[in-house]
Structure formats: C-alpha cells, structure tokens
C-alpha cells in the first residue's frame, strides 16, 4: 500500500511563497497528473514529496507513514528529473542499473530488469553508450528507464516525455500507462501538456500560482471547471468567457435566452467552442466571424459574441465566411457559469 497524502504543504523561498497550503491525496495505484503553467510550483511540490526540498510547513504521508522528516532514500520512491540528471560518467546500462545496484541486487536480476526497462523505452541499442553521445530525447528515456527499473511503489515523474517527438511521445505514453497500471504503481506525473494529462491520468490536479485549483477526473475537469483559470487552461481552443446580464434566472444574448443561476452577481458564461453549434436559420447567440481556420477535423472560427472575443469549433464542411454573422445554439446543461469577481464557478441551479 503506497498512497500519498500531501497535507497542507507550504513552501517559501525567502519571502516568495511557491506553494500555498497544497493538499492532495493520491490513492494506492492511482495515476495523478499535475498540470499547470510554467512556474506554478509543480517541480517544487514533487521535490518536497521526494524529500529533496523541505516544506516550510505541512506533512507528507506515504503508505500511512509520515515521511516529512525522512531522507529521500528512505521514502521508497523513484523519480524522473525534469532535467534528466542522467549520470554522465556511467554507461546507459549502469545508469538504468543504478537503483538496483544500490539495492545490492544479483547481477542476473540487474541484467534482466535493466533489459526489460530498456526495451520498454526503446533504448536497448544504446546500453553501452555514454549519455553524452545521446540525444535529449534518448537521455530522457534513460532517466525514465532508470526509475522504472527499480519497480518503485511510488513514482514521481517531472515532464518525462517533454523532449520526444509527437509520435514517440504518444507511443511511450500508452506503454507507460499500461506498465504502471499493471504494476500498480502510485504515480504523480508532472506535465504542462494537457492532452498528455487527459490521456494518462486517473485524476488531474490543475495547479496555478502555487495552489491546486481543481482535482478531478479528466472529464470532470474538462466539463465542469471549478474556476475560470481551469476552463481557460484546459481544452483547445480554451473555454470562452462572455460577460452577460442575468435577470430573473435568464440571461439574454441577442435573441437567445439561457437559464442562469440567479445570484444577483456579475457573471460570465463559460462556453466551450465545441459545445456550440451553428443554428440552421441564424437564430440563437449571434457570433461575428473574423477568421476561419480549417484544421482538417474541424473548422476553428475566431470572432466575437456581443463584442467579446470567442472561438468556436464548427464541422469541417460548414459553409461560413469571415465577416459573416451566424447564430449559435448551446445546450444549457453544458455551459459553466463563472462569478466574475471570484473567478469561481457558480453551482448550477
């Protein structure tokens, strides 16, 4: 059993607060992706879990044991570093074998496990090379293989696939997921690639400015963002936010009327580009198209609703032109209402 409990962890660097009371529970065998923009504190949180950095306050509990005061090697985890940290003076084989050597594993076992990890990451043919002779992506895979080789109960990965080409990344992603699921490894996976997070994770924790904004399954995060930031960060194109007047439970935009939560606050309509469809007769929410971008699988329309910028996704064969005004129909169940002052979602009526 290796669940991870992060309990109100705060990290200050001098006067700068990199983490503000982060709490997060990762269940045994669960795969949680930490998703957030650059500088939001993902690496800092990972380093605190690993014990490489000391939290200013708060606790880390792994498998029921408070590890807050334990040195990294006693926490029973493996880690893939953001900048790989592959040992330059050891061959790829010795790098991957390092953790096993530290556990004093038998040579035969070392060889078997190293070869297994290397095969998984497609680095078998570089085993006797030195890291300096590898490309960035190959080095990164050595770092992942080194972590997988020890078959850890807890695995921390800091953007482990960031340097691979799109095709290889997709393949590695699928294989990683299968291997980690089979081994029942509790995983925290840092990324700022949302499709990676969506595809891999059981749950996603979206971080912003040293806080966790929302934790939930990929679908929850996508469909019901808890804050304006999450809505805008997840999804491509990002969610549109349209300021509307809500009176007596109804918001009117053009000749469209949407039921809204009557709270008497300033609010914004959060609308995903793909949740709107072009109405056949031009009725509904008026959308002024400025640019049409054919993306192959769909058309990306950029324009404005009620004078506010918006992006809408339309079917690839839709007949629309720049400068045109079209009408959009939306399913009221699929929109998010955001309180303009707090930036948080308002519970649906």
Partner 1 sequence: MPARTSWIPYALIAPSVAFLAALFLMPLVQTIWLSFSAGDALSLENYRRMAGDLNFSLAVKNTFLLTLVVVPLQVVLALAMATMVTKLDKGRDLVLWVLTIPLGISDLAAGLAWLALLQNTGYLNSALYALGLIEGPTGWLSQETPWSLFFAIVLAELWRATAIVLVILIAGLQLIPKEFSEAAEIFGAKPWTRFTRITLPLLKPSLQSALILRTVLAFEVFAVVYALGGRNFPVLAGEAYVWQNDNQNYGIAAAYAVLIMAISLAATAVYLRVLRTRPEQLP
Binding mask 111-150 toward partner 1 (x if CB under 8 A, else -) reads ------------------xx-xx------------x---x
Provide, rounded to whole angstroms, the least separation between the CB of residue 137 and ligand ATP. Answer: 18
Concatenated DSSP letters for 294-308? E-SSSEEEEEEETTE
Nearer to ligand ATP, 16 or 128 (CB): 16
Binding mask 144-163 toward partner 1 (x if CB under 8 A, else -) reads --x---x-------------
77 interacts with partner 1 by CB under 8 A: yes
Nearer to Mg ion, 18 or 258 (CB): 18
Considering CB distances under 5 to 8 angstroms, the limit depending on partner class, which of Mg ion, partner 1, ligand ATP, none binds residue 87?
Answer: partner 1
Interface with Mg ion (CB under 5 A), residue from 19, 43, 197, 314: 43
> Closest Cα to residue 329, out of 269, 257, 259, 232?
257
First to last CA, the chain: 41
> Closest Cα to residue 312, out of 330, 334, 337, 339?
330
> Closest Cα to residue 151, out of 105, 88, 83, 197?
105
Binding mask 25-44 toward ligand ATP (x if CB under 6 A, else -) reads -----------x-xxxxxxx
Site for partner 1 in 20-59 (CB under 8 A): 50, 52
Nearer to ligand ATP, 35 or 198 (CB): 35
Nearer to ligand ATP, 198 or 253 (CB): 198
Provide, rounded to whole angstroms, the least separation between the CB of residue 185 and partner 1. Answer: 15
Q: Do 202 and 31 contact (CB within 8 A), yes or no?
A: yes
Provide, rounded to whole angstroms, the least separation between the CB of residue 154 and partner 1. Answer: 11
Order of all β-strands in the sheet with 154-158: 77-80, 154-158, 186-191, 31-35, 203-208, 211-216
Instruction: State the Cα angle at 54 between 48 and 58, rounded to 5°.
Output: 80
81 interacts with partner 1 by CB under 8 A: yes
Provide, rounded to whole angstroms, the least separation between the CB of residue 38 and Mg ion. Answer: 7
Strands 154-158 and 77-80: parallel
Provide, rounded to whole angstroms, the least separation between the CB of residue 71 and partner 1. Answer: 7
Binding mask 61-100 toward ligand ATP (x if CB under 6 A, else -) reads ---------------------x------------------
Buried b / exposed e over 203-228, threshold 16 CB at 10 Å, is: bbbbbbebbbbbbbebeebbbbbbbb
Piece of 19-27, 67-75, 227-235, 257-265 that binds partner 1 (CB under 8 A):
67-75
- What is the Cα–Cα distance from 25 to 4, expressed in whole angstroms? 6
The number of residues making up the chain comes to 349
Provide the 8-state DSSP code for 137.
H
Provide, rounded to whole angstroms, the least separation between the CB of residue 40 and Mg ion. Answer: 9
Considering CB distances under 5 to 8 angstroms, the limit depending on partner class, which of Mg ion, partner 1, ligand ATP, none binds residue 192?
Answer: ligand ATP
102 interacts with partner 1 by CB under 8 A: yes
- What is the Cα–Cα distance from 336 to 229, expressed in whole angstroms? 12
């Amino acid at each position: 059993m290796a669940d991870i409990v992060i309990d109100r962890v705060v990290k200050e660097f001098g006067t700068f607060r990199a983490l503000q009371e982060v709490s997060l529970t990762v269940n045994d065998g669960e795969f949680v992706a930490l998703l957030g923009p650059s500088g939001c504190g993902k690496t800092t949180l990972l380093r605190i879990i690993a014990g490489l950095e000391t939290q200013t306050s708060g606790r880390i509990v792994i498998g029921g044991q408070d590890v807050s005061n334990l040195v990294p090697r006693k926490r029973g985890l493996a880690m893939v570093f953001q900048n790989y940290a592959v040992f330059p003076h050891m061959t790829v084989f010795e790098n991957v074998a390092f953790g096993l050597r530290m556990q004093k594993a038998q040579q035969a076992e070392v060889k078997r496990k190293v070869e297994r990890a290397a095969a998984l990451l497609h680095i078998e043919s570089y085993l006797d090379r030195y890291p300096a002779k590898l490309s960035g992506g190959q080095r990164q895979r050595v770092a992942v293989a080194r972590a997988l080789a020890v078959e850890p109960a807890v695995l921390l990965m800091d953007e482990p696939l960031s340097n691979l080409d799109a095709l290889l990344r997709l393949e590695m992603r699928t294989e990683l997921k299968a291997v980690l699921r089979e081994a029942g490894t509790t995983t925290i996976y840092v990324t700022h690639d949302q499709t990676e997070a969506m595809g891999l994770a059981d749950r996603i924790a979206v971080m912003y400015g040293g806080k966790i904004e929302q934790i939930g399954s990929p679908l929850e995060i996508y469909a019901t963002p808890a804050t304006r930031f999450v809505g805008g960060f997840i999804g491509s194109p990002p969610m549109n936010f349209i300021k509307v007047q809500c009176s007596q439970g109804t918001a009117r935009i053009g000749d469209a009327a949407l039921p809204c939560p009557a709270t008497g606050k300033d609010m914004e309509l959060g609308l995903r580009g793909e949740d709107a469809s072009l109405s056949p007769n031009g009725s509904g929410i008026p959308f002024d198209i400025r640019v049409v971008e054919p993306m192959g699988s769909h058309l990306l329309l950029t324009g404005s609703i009620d004078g506010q910028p918006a992006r809408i996704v339309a079917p690839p064969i839709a007949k629309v032109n720049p400068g045109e005004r079209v009408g959009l129909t939306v399913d009221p169940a699929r929109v998010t209402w955001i309180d303009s002052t707090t930036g948080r979602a308002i519970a649906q009526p």
